[in-house]
Structure 1
Amino acid sequence: MSAEELAASPKLSKEEKKARKEAKKLKKAEKAAEKAGVQEDVAAEEVKEEVDQEEDESRATSVTVTEEPPKKKKKSKDTESSETPISTATPTESETPALSKKQQKKLAKASAAAAATSSAAAIPAPTVPTTFTTEHNSFLTSNNITLTPSIFPPLLSIRDLPINSKLQPFLNKFEKPTPIQACSWPALLRKKDVVGIAETGSGKTLAFGVPGINLLSQLPPVTGSKKGRGQVPGQIQMLVLAPTRELAQQSHEHLLAFGEQVGLKSVCIFGGVGKDGQAKELSQREARVVVGTPGRTLDLADSGELDLSSVSYLVLDEADRMLDAGFENDIRRIIAHTPGHKEGRQTVMFSATWPESVRRLASTFLNDPLRITVGSDELSANKRIEQVVEVLDNPRDKDFRLTHHLRAHLKAHPNSKASPTRILVFALYKKEAQRLEYTIRRAGYAVGALHGDMTQEARFKALEAFKTGQQNVLVATDVAARGLDIPDVGLVINVTFPLTTEDFVHRCGRTGRAGKTGKAVTFFTGENHEKSLAGEFMRVLRDVGAEIPKEMDRFPTTIKKKEHGSYGAFYKDTANAPAPTKITFD
């Protein structure tokens, strides 16, 4: 054999060797991908990259070999001896070599992701009954519930909930769903938008929380890389907006406890504290649920530290209260950060009343919603609350009457660690709250306060001491009048009548919650703003069958009609009109 033939023979054997190695690895990857349940093109692409890298390395080594004359002859002898086993290898031997550890890790990771996606997609849609029975109609009538339109019958048993099996034990501790829960769950589990109108203390947090957490338990978590100080883009999938910090914190605690059953984390964001700590918590906790007040939520969303582009479940809790507080523009801007209905966003709105502003907001952002009204959509007090009204000629008598009712209630309901007695005293202004706290403490009662001049930490401590029974009496301004779920408040005392009858109803709503009874005492003097509210106040008392003192007869019974701020009584209510369609001109 000539020198030229010897030099040429190693080159041919190397090409054959590389081609066969590449074919082996491709076949190997295809089989591994099929076993792992991963798409063939994804696995083959990853292995091709590995093959290309190895091929580049082998080419680099072959170049160095051909450049050295002494090693050239030695290499050719080795290749001659290796030609025979390569050509005689059986097909099974060439197809079964094991993958490298790096390739096995990649395939295992890809198969796990594919399995998670397929399992989420394989979860069947909840089966909710659509036929009304006599029992359903009787339930709606007895609880004065109106469904518009009447599509889904209520779920009368918690055990009938078609939800994730891991969530069921948490709910089994409740005997039965509340009326708003029984009527909202069927529609929300079918991913329909819902407007719920019910009194405070009716279980609205679980009404929207159960379907929301169940939905997220079926969705795969969003993965990606962080951008700046914020969380992973698209990480937040459920957003709950609440009017006050206390209500946001309360809803967060309920959702956190419920979401832990399926490994979901929640973050609460609100004003009054530094936002840097909340932004850091968003990035570190890998939360998929955010509960917040409108102001702080908008602040973090506008700064890019809160990404709402993947929100699939949006809740507006206590919508009427948020609009009364002037958050309408903030809410609209926050919703603009979320996907639209066409992108799959489900929107839920809960409110204690159904005024024009709430109807207008619902018609704009909700898609053909089911409206559930428990009781009346007008302002009404809780009939389970005993109303006591004392008309006082001298405002200075309030302190004496206050201590009298405190003494009488604590005597009738002795305080104990097992069942602490809780009394909530409402003042109109912060200075009045401070004065009442001092007066009650001097009378020998364990009392705390809750008003706007306190730091957030002090407010949390006062609220926690009242909940745990360390303090029997809590003096508060109207900041605590809505949404707070303080267990077993036996007595509410309105020392000064609030500025609106709506606030009066919500103050009294702190007692008599969750089907229990309660008592509310109101001091009425007729001074300042009280005289103009006397007619509406008596109407609220009359609607719940409460006794109206004869001393109230000296006040006018006229109910002033509510007028529009700009147009007076001469304006058209277009809240139920369809939303305008955007027209694009060529």
Structure 2
Amino acid sequence: MSGRDVIGIAKTGSGKTAAFIWPLLVHIMDQPEIKPGDGPIGLIVAPTRELCQQIYIECKRFGKVYGIRSVCCYGGGNMHEQQKGLAEGCEIAVATPGRIIDHVKKKNTNLLRVTYLVFDEADRMFEMGFEYQVRSIANHVRPDRQTLLFSATFRKRIERLARDILTDPVRIIQGDVGEANADVTQIVEVFKSADMKWRWMTSRIIPFTSEGSLLIFVTKKANAEELATNLINEGYDVALIHGDMQQYDRNNVITNFKKKQVSTLVATDVAARGLDIPSIRNVVNFDVARDIDTHTHRIGRTGRAGQKGTAYTLVTQKDNQFAGDLVRNLEGAGQRVSENLLQLALQNQKFRKSRYQHGSGKQISFRTRERPGFGSSSSR
């Protein structure tokens, strides 16, 4: 509210979206009115279409009372409709990195009036290869802006970004940096074979869906399609979402899942970020995540806004390297580590060596920002 730059490190489901929307609305009401052809006052950059859409819905809902207009811009959406909304004038633009750069380069909008800049889930944008675009956007916005950087984790690349684009920031940490949501009970099941995983899954679907909606994560698209097909053939009520689906189809799947027209959703990590559905009571990682950050965001799809949820992670002998990450993750959240999981993790030499070694934190220094030109784009 005081105009300071902010680093926000918060677990998933902690309500950080409202934390940057409300100050943005106050900020906008203190600015001269937008005229047709002006660019937005607030720019919110998020990694995925789904997250952009959800932030846009909240901006529209809260801003409507004050006559504040929002536009949502993402790759795969209707470029003409986005262009029209920007041209008519909007106080808030919610966008993926590549798409907002496309609009600026096509002169559909400009960033001259942006004085409130938000990067949400910056760690995810880096994972998706958007670091260059993120830096280009930050460097193309006027230096007297207020910048808010949000991330569920605070790895070295995010630390460097914070140094480069923030000025004397307030640092707000909700929980321990990078920890899993303590409102989510984590249970790790260790299996000897993939067949045992399948039998476990089919024996749990009915109990899980009797408690609420069920979200099942699979790492690869082909495996997700196979799992969803097999479950449907067994007579279960299942929908599927992955990154190669058309945006219209993805939106329909998410809408049906939100409305509880389908009880179980099999998803690749395209749905891991920003999917905010209160009815999800159980999450199953049928395949382990690529890394522990992705795992943290997966399980954060349940236990939202202080509610309780349960996340199950299914591992086999080939997952011994990731098992060590799971052990540290569970211990960081104060949750039980089973003997089976610990023994699996100890099969990995790197984990054995590091088991009782502890690193020390680093101090972060910040410099004033510079403003070079725009870089290349990649629509998302």
TM-score normalised by structure 1 residue count? 0.59
Listed one character per residue, the Cα deviations across residues 300-322 of structure 1 (whole Å, up to 9, x for unaligned) are: 11221121111011001111111
Give secondary structure in 2 for the equivalent of 1:249: helix
Which residue pairs with 1:336 in the alignment?
A: 139
| 2:161 paired with 1:361 | yes
Q: How does 1:214-229 map to 2 (within 5 A)?
A: 214-223=26-35
CA displacement 1:451-496 (0-9 Å, x = unmatched): 0121000000000100111111111111111222122210001111
8 Å CA contact retained: 2:239, 2:264: yes
* Counterpart for residue 435 of structure 1: 226
Corresponding residue for residue 458 of structure 1: 249
The residue number in structure 2 matching 1:200 is 12
1:291 aligns with 2:94: yes
* Structure 1 position 254, deviation (Å): 0.3
Percent of paired sites with the same residue:
37
More helix by share: 1
Matches of 1:539 and 1:250, distance apart in 2: 31
Q: Which residue of 2 aligns with 1:254?
A: 58
Write the distance in 1 (CA, Å) between the matches of 2:339 and 2:362.
Answer: 41
Residue 332 (structure 1) shift: 1.5
Alignment partner of 1:213 is 2:25: yes
| Corresponding residue to 1:237 among 41, 47, 53 | 41
2:213 corresponds in structure 1 to: 422
Shift of 1:580: 7.2
SS of residue matched to 1:475: strand
* Cα displacement (A) at 1:409: 2.0
Q: Deviation at 1:277?
A: 3.1
1:303 maps onto 2:106 in alignment: yes
Contact 1:196 1:373 in 2 (8 A): yes
1:373, 1:545 → 2: CA distance? 18
C-alpha distance in 1 between matches for 2:134 and 2:83: 20
Match of 1:498 among 289, 301, 316: 289
More strand by share: 2
1:549 aligns with 2:361: no
The answer on whether the counterparts of 1:424 and 1:493 sit within 8 Å (CA) in structure 2 is yes
Contact 1:360-1:575 within 8 A present in 2 as well: no
- Work out whether residues 183 and 303 of structure 2, in 8 Å CA contact, stay in contact via their aligned partners in 1: yes
Structure 1 residue 561 displacement after superposition:
10
**Preserved CA contact (<8 Å) 2:5 2:170:** yes
Q: Is the CA contact (8 Å cut-off) linking 1:221 and 1:235 kept in structure 2?
A: no
The structure whose Rg is larger is 1
SS of residue matched to 2:216: strand
Matches within 5 A, 1:169-188: none
Structure 1 pair 214/307, CA: closer, same or farther in 2 (3 Å)? same
How far residue 400 of structure 1 moved from its aligned partner, in angstroms, is 1.6
The within-5 A match list for 1:122-201 is: 189-201=1-13
Picking from 320, 333, 341, the partner of 1:531 is 320
Superimposed CA distance per residue, residues 536-570 of structure 1 (whole angstroms, 9 cap, x where no aligned partner): 211112222333333231442644999xxxxxxxx
Q: Which amino acid aligns with 1:316?
A: F
Deviation at 1:369, TM superposition (A): 0.7
Backbone CA RMSD of aligned residues: 2.1
SS of alignment partner, residue 514 of structure 1: helix
How far, CA to CA, are the matches of 1:261 and 1:560 in structure 2? 57
> 1:576 corresponds to which residue?
364
CA pair 500-317 structure 1, distance change in 2 beyond 3 A? same
Query: What is the total number of aligned residue pairs between the two structures?
Result: 361
Change (3 A) 1:578 1:383: closer
Contact 1:446–1:470 (8 Å) recurs in 2: no
Once residues 488 and 202 of structure 1 are traced to their aligned partners in structure 2, the CA distance between those partners, rounded to angstroms, is 16
- Distance in 1 of aligned mates of 2:293 and 2:165: 25
- CA separation of 1:442/1:360 partners in 2, compared to 1, >3 Å: closer, same or farther? same
Once residues 560 and 450 of structure 1 are traced to their aligned partners in structure 2, the CA distance between those partners, rounded to angstroms, is 37
